[in-house]
Amino acid sequence: MPLKTPQEYLESIKTPKNLYMFGEKITDFWNHPIIRPSINTVMKIYELAQIDEYKDLMTVQSHLTGNIINRFTHIHQSTEDLIKKVKMQRLLGQKTGCCFQRCVGFDAANSLYSVTYEIDAKLGTNYHERFKDYWIEVQDQDLMVDGAMTDTKGDRSKRPIEQKDPDSFLHIVDEKDDGVIIRGAKIHQTGFLNSHRAIIMPTLSLRPGEEAYAISCGVDIDAEGITLIYGRQSCDTRKMEEGKLDIGNFKYGGQEIFVIFDDVFIPTDHIFMKGEVEFSRELVNRFAGFHRQSYGGCKVGVGDVLIGATALSAQYHGVEKASHIRDKLVEMTHLNETLFSCGIACSSLGFQRDAGNYEMDMFLANVCKQNVTRFPYEIARLAEDIAGGSICTLPSEADLRSSEVGTLLKKYLDTNPEIPVEDRYKILRFIENLTMGVSSVSYRTESMHGAGSPQAQRIMISRQANFEEKKELVKDILDINV
């Protein structure tokens, strides 16, 4: 059964041994008002894969089994696959208006596929076949897999082996005949709680002497020794209040988890790198490239929604025909489509690795993400400009429903007799949510830090810019020989 229905996914997600939020242990997390919107978002992925209109983007034939699978479990086999990945991500951003949480594991798998092949080719290991067997299970069961890379890092001026606390970077603490024991933490874990499994990866390029930190493996979310602490987001407790107008995006949401690994056992069959420090840099770089490509789709889809909400706000206020409003909406669209163009460009110029899978153009993927660290901030600024100050001063839904002041609010917040004040509330709160609230984490803030900070992309761009070649172009034109 390669494709799960949304209900089958809901019934299949596991209860972790230890999950905490606001200092309390959480059990039936799927009913928690703060967590449930993030589950609804993942369910949307499974829903769209069942709809004929979207199957070309959402599903694909596995090169491993020949079965039709969810594209989020696919290993790219062509530049067309890379392009459809970006288009699929845009679609999901349009349908949910938030982070849909399934990209990180997707990008981790495609990175590991080629790196394990190359480790085996050089060192005679069997990581690649082991990973393929693991990933066939993921495809056949339509599992959601998280990718866990970011460590807490401790003192950033020191290497992993120099840290006062060695657990600042996840590492192997013991080896058994049938596996290893790992300890440490992974932070900013998007959708970890909603996943079935996670792929662990090192967070930076490692050196000789740091072999214990060069670990990549698969782990079940409910494994013994894993503790999850739910990350706070701005305005998150609004989801626990009565009503839904103050929430903004009351259907869907993202999720970030602080994950602690306290002596977690990893069986040998789930280990895909163990001590091969010379390959850690390639794994980190390839994952970063795939994930930076992703931002040319997901952030664009959410941008489409924010632009739509801003245009509706202008319409509700009666200013949609003003020339400066139309010009700002055009600028928002221009920036958004530029991001999409970068995502499509790095996909179109993709190439085939020795393992057979396809990889995006690394240089343009970094250009894509560098633009993502800037453009969504300007799109959000223009949205706030057009929406007006009410996005951060609007009284609560309880006041709107109040028998004492509700009629006054409806009187003075009315802009058009054909537009209910409640609809104006929904749009203003939605824009607030995307630019300052819960969803701003997965739109604006994540645009800055997700898949690496801006400086990480600039370093990669500097490495790949090939200034010497550009100098030679000028020398050739001007007949310069030195």
* Number of C-beta neighbours around residue 381 at 10 A: 14
358 is annotated as an active-site residue:
no
446 is annotated as an active-site residue:
yes
Report yes or no: 442 and 302 within 8 Å, Cβ to Cβ: yes
Separation CA 143–CA 12 (nearest Å)? 9
In Å, how far from its chain's centre is CA 193? 14
Out of 171, 291, 359, 443, pick the active-site residue: 291
295 is annotated as an active-site residue:
yes
User: Token pair of 28, please?
Assistant: 């039936």
134 is annotated as an active-site residue:
no
User: Token pair of 193, please?
Assistant: 């709680």
Could you say which DSSP state residue 441 is in? I
Separation CA 363–CA 280 (nearest Å)? 19
Distances (CA, A) of 267 to 171, 218, 479: 15, 9, 62
Tell me the residue length of the chain.
482
Report yes or no: 145 and 195 within 8 Å, Cβ to Cβ: yes
Report yes or no: 313 and 386 within 8 Å, Cβ to Cβ: yes
Out of 46, 230, 295, 358, pick the active-site residue: 295
- Amino acid at residue number 197: R
Could you say which DSSP state residue 214 is in? -
Out of 190, 310, 373, 435, pick the active-site residue: 190
Separation CA 408–CA 421 (nearest Å)? 12
Residue in the block written with tokens 């800055």? 448
Q: Of 318, 294, 296, 320, which Cα lies nearest the Cα of 307?
A: 320
Q: Of 4, 74, 69, which Cα lies nearest the Cα of 43?
A: 4
Out of 9, 127, 270, 298, pick the active-site residue: 298
256 is annotated as an active-site residue:
yes
103 is annotated as an active-site residue:
yes
- Amino acid at residue number 177: D
Out of 103, 217, 346, 368, pick the active-site residue: 103
Out of 99, 217, 346, 368, pick the active-site residue: 99
Q: Of 32, 93, 45, which Cα lies nearest the Cα of 230?
A: 32
User: Token pair of 162, please?
Assistant: 């120099």
Q: Of 127, 132, 169, 172, which Cα lies nearest the Cα of 150?
A: 169
Catalytic sites, residue numbers: 99, 103, 190, 256, 291, 295, 298, 446
